[in-house]
DNA sequence: CTGAAAGCGCTTACAG
DNA sequence: CTGAAAGCGCTTACAG
């Protein structure tokens, strides 16, 4: 079965391919009688005609794809939410989302040169020359960094701020000796390092001693081992900032296993506000990240980047927020 | 900056575009001196030439894209894992993953007609005529259903089996009065209904009375309200099968809030084995879904579907599995 | 108001 | 062994 082309529609409706193209693309400036237009539209619908994306792309030099580069580490619910928003909002503009998992730098250049996407959204930072090359090829680039960045088209989730907020909250509750629970997964190192840096900074600012760092796996024995370490020192840790809620739950479980009470003996604060956080015993205090707002911001940024001379949308304010519960 | 084409490479290396194409595509059957080959390859590398995907697609009528249709409900970690596997494994064959979020049936036909993907992977079931039309257009179709299906290219995660396993486990522990904790989200209804059906079936098979169903939100008050209902009847529920681990955690928290003990007063079993499950107090018994195996199965199925006359890979056995912990 | 023609970049019969 | 030419399906100046 050969592909249905605009020539078929032209034949079916008794006009030329030119007219078909004009009608179907709503080309203005051309005056075509409504009767002809209707005939063409009917024929297209009757035949079930869909223009070839490849031919269009070849002709225009620009595809209807938006390349979304996701890192090889798991950013958990963010990715779900983001793909959800992006895919829905771009569909309204006739654009589709092409997902590329970043694995080593080379394949990226090949991919974008091959598909000439309209825009590229990076969830992990781009190499500077990659970004420049893409821009030179007329591709709109929306990037991400883990922290502040000058470029208005680069989205920053201030990771260090997360750590600062955690310590700020714990200090408000009167804690002076802070521990940090780090994740095991190396792919999270970039995040964990930034968040820890924030914790360290804030401790310093408040005149507290540097946090005692323990790597905590997502199981009870690991949490218990960390708990023992934190309590062993002559000046024991009384509050733990965890990389995220899952790590925090492991700490909570470890403390419990060691017979320590939360928050009386050791307070715990996580990051993310996953559903399990509010259901934990005690309910987990955490830093809420406004994933939804971030995802729609990124989708909006991509949309804005597509249009010339449109400014990037305003960064969502209040992206980070401590949700105080019983664990602190 | 105009696009770099094979003509540029031809000029640079002093041969025709034909030769460039032969060399770069490793066309066999043609004898081209190694010296020429090398010259062409060098020129291509020096220039940074990448063939236009659009032109190739137009010429061959077949793109290098694999369309992945994801449902509008959240299937949580599955999607992350799947996109991860798919994207990595397909990249090795030079294929890219195009994600489409299913929202109403129409856009799908337009999308696949426009991009002519090599294969389509549906994480939600396809309408029968959609599937047929795609196959007729030469597109390989790998589908999914919520339960058993005769078609070897359709992947089934036996949802009813999940419910059966839950009850089987609870009955083994001596429970005779079962409750079911359903999620609130309507988008999960298709899943929840199947799992509940499995629970109902197994209750019947074992001669137990039908489960008492409560909708449970992911918060403590909702879990507590459900707990009260379950315990109010003259013949109170002693074990609850929950839709998934998050709902199970809400039930656990609700029971705790009502002063009921788990598993002594009420046992609880979830589904998924999320990290928080083993960290709960008491540690949550759950049905493990082997997400990873399922994701690589799907990736393998897509890969197999691309080649003519290759059978679908063997379904992963042991996809479901009760992980017994302290909550039952 | 409508159509014939060119050209986007590629691959592949088909000639030399 | 290598090249000139056609054609994939589309859009858009350019003629009528």
Residue with tokens 């708990």: A227
B284 and B308 share one domain: no
In a domain, residue A126? The reply is yes
What's the distance, CA A184 to chain centroid?
Answer: 21
Indicate the SS3 state at residue A239. Answer: strand
In a domain, residue B321? The reply is no
Per DSSP, helices labelled H in chain B are 6-13, 17-24, 34-47, 53-60, 77-91, 106-115, 128-136, 159-172, 189-205, 220-232, 245-257, 275-279, 291-306
Residue with tokens 């998924």: B272
Tell me the DSSP string of B111-163: HHHHH--SEEEESSPPPHHHHHHHHHTT-EEEEEESS--S-TTEEE--HHHHH
Task: Say whether the peptide bond before residue B263 is cis (omega within 30 degrees of 0).
Answer: yes
The verdict on a CB contact (< 8 Å) between B283 and A220 is: yes
B213 and B272 share one domain: yes
**Dist. CA A33–CA B182, nearest whole Å:** 57
**Dist. CA B319–CA B288, nearest whole Å:** 8
B165 and B223 share one domain: yes
B54 at interface of A, judged by CB pairs closer than 8 A: yes
Q: Please, which residues 245-304 of chain A have a Cβ atom closer than 8 Å to chain B?
A: 246, 249-250, 252-253, 256, 274-276, 278-281, 283
Q: Pick from B240, B151, B236, B166: which is nearest to B198 by CA?
A: B166
Q: How much is the pLDDT for A104?
A: 61
Q: Pick from A259, A215, A264: which is nearest to A238 by CA?
A: A264
In a domain, residue A326? The reply is no
In a domain, residue A275? The reply is yes
CB atoms within 10 A of CB B33: 8
A72 and A142 share one domain: yes
Report whether B103 contacts B72 (CB < 8 A): yes
Calculate what percentage of chain B has a pLDDT beyond 70. Answer: 96
Q: Please, which residues 170-209 of chain A have a Cβ atom closer than 8 Å to chain B?
A: none
| Helix/strand/coil percent split, chain B, to 5 | 45, 15, 40
Q: Which chain A residues contact residue B256 at CB under 8 A?
A: 281
Per DSSP (E only), the strands in B197-311 are 212-215, 239-242, 267-271, 285-288
Protein footprint of strand D, defined by Cβ closer than 7 Å to any strand atom: A 2-3, 5-7, 17-18, 20-22, 24-25, 27, 49, 51-52, 55-56, 58-60; B 14-19, 22, 30-33, 36, 55, 58-59, 61
pLDDT tens per residue, range B93-119: 888 888 888 776 567 888 888 889 999
Q: How much is the pLDDT for B127?
A: 86
> For residue B61, what pLDDT band results from cuts at 50, 70 and 90?
confident
B241 and B301 share one domain: no
**Dist. CA A209–CA A236, nearest whole Å:** 12
Residue with tokens 């995907």: B53
B175 and B275 share one domain: yes
Residue with tokens 């260090």: A160
**Dist. CA B269–CA B98, nearest whole Å:** 37
In a domain, residue B45? The reply is yes
Per-residue pLDDT of chain A (328 residues), as tens digits, is: 678 899 999 988 889 898 999 998 877 766 788 888 889 999 999 988 999 999 999 999 889 889 998 887 665 666 778 888 888 888 888 888 888 887 765 678 888 888 899 999 998 888 888 898 899 888 999 998 887 777 888 888 789 999 999 999 999 999 999 999 999 988 888 889 999 999 999 999 999 999 999 999 999 999 999 999 999 988 999 999 999 999 999 999 999 999 999 999 999 999 999 999 999 999 999 999 888 888 888 889 999 998 888 888 888 878 899 999 999 9
**Dist. CA B184–CA B180, nearest whole Å:** 13
A253 and A105 share one domain: no
pTM value > 0.95? no
Residue with tokens 């856009």: B107
B72 and B25 share one domain: no
CA distance B283 to chain A (A): 9
How is residue B258 written in tokens? 């009502």
The verdict on a CB contact (< 8 Å) between A96 and B83 is: no
In a domain, residue A325? The reply is no
Closest CA in chain B for residue A63: B54
Q: How much is the pLDDT for B259?
A: 96
Report whether A43 contacts A15 (CB < 8 A): no
A170 and A270 share one domain: yes
pLDDT tens per residue, range B238-284: 999 999 999 999 999 999 999 999 999 999 999 999 999 999 999 99
- Domain holding A146, by residue range, is 60-157+292-317
> Dihedral angle at the C-alpha atoms of A241, A242, A246, A249, nearest 10 degrees?
-50
pLDDT tens per residue, range B148-189: 777 888 888 789 999 999 999 999 999 999 999 999 988 888
Report whether B124 contacts B71 (CB < 8 A): yes
Domains of chain B: total: 3
Beta bridge partners of A321: A288
Q: How much is the pLDDT for A105?
A: 56
Task: Work out the angle between the directed axes of helices A6-13 and A17-24 (0-180°, nearest 10).
Answer: 100
Tell me the DSSP string of A240-262: EEESSHHHHHHHHHHHHHTT--T
A282 and A301 share one domain: no
How is residue B72 written in tokens? 């509008």
pLDDT tens per residue, range B215-240: 999 999 999 999 999 999 889 999 99
Beta bridge partners of B100: B69
In a domain, residue B57? The reply is no
Q: How much is the pLDDT for A106?
A: 60
**Dist. CA A177–CA B325, nearest whole Å:** 34
How is residue A219 written in tokens? 């199981």
B27 and B67 share one domain: no
Q: How much is the pLDDT for A91?
A: 85
B82 and B47 share one domain: no
Q: How much is the pLDDT for A93?
A: 85
The CATH number of the domain holding residue A252 is 3.40.50.2300
In a domain, residue B111? The reply is yes
**Dist. CA A68–CA A72, nearest whole Å:** 13
The CATH number of the domain holding residue B19 is 1.10.260.40
Q: How much is the pLDDT for A216?
A: 97
Residue with tokens 């070897």: B152
How is residue B10 written in tokens? 């031809």
Kindly state the DSSP code that residue A268 receives in the 8-state scheme: E
């Amino acid at each position: 079965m050969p592909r249905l082309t605009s020539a078929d529609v032209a034949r079916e409706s008794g006009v030329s391919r030119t007219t078909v193209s004009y009608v179907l693309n709503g080309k203005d400036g051309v005056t075509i009688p409504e009767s002809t237009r209707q005939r063409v539209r009917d024929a297209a619908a009757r035949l079930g005609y869909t223009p070839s994306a490849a031919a269009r792309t070849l002709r225009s030099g620009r595809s209807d794809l938006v390349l979304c580069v996701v890192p090889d580490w798991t950013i958990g619910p963010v990715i779900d939410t983001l793909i959800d928003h992006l895919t829905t909002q771009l569909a309204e503009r006739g654009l589709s989302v092409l997902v590329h998992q970043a694995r080593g730098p080379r394949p990226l250049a090949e991919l974008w040169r091959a598909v000439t996407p309209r825009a590229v959204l990076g969830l992990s930072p781009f190499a500077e020359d990659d970004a420049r090359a893409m821009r030179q090829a007329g591709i709109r680039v929306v990037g991400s960094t883990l922290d502040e960045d000058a470029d208005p088209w680069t989205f920053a989730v201030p990771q260090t701020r997360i750590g600062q907020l955690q310590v700020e909250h714990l200090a408000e509750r009167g804690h002076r000796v802070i521990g940090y629970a780090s994740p095991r997964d190396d792919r999270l190192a970039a995040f964990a390092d930034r968040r820890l840096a924030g914790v360290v900074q804030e401790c310093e600012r408040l005149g507290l001693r540097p946090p005692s760092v323990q790597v905590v796996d997502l199981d009870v024995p690991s949490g218990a081992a960390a708990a023992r370490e934190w309590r062993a020192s002559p000046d024991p840790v009384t509050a733990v900032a965890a990389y995220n809620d899952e790590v925090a739950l492991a700490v909570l479980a470890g403390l419990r296993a060691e017979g320590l009470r939360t928050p009386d003996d050791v307070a715990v604060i996580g990051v993310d506000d996953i559903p399990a956080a509010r259901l934990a015993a005690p309910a987990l205090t955490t830093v809420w990240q406004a994933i939804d707002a971030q995802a729609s911001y990124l989708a909006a940024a991509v949309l804005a980047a597509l249009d010339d001379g449109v400014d990037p949308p305003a960064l969502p304010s209040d992206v980070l927020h401590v949700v105080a519960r019983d664990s602190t």
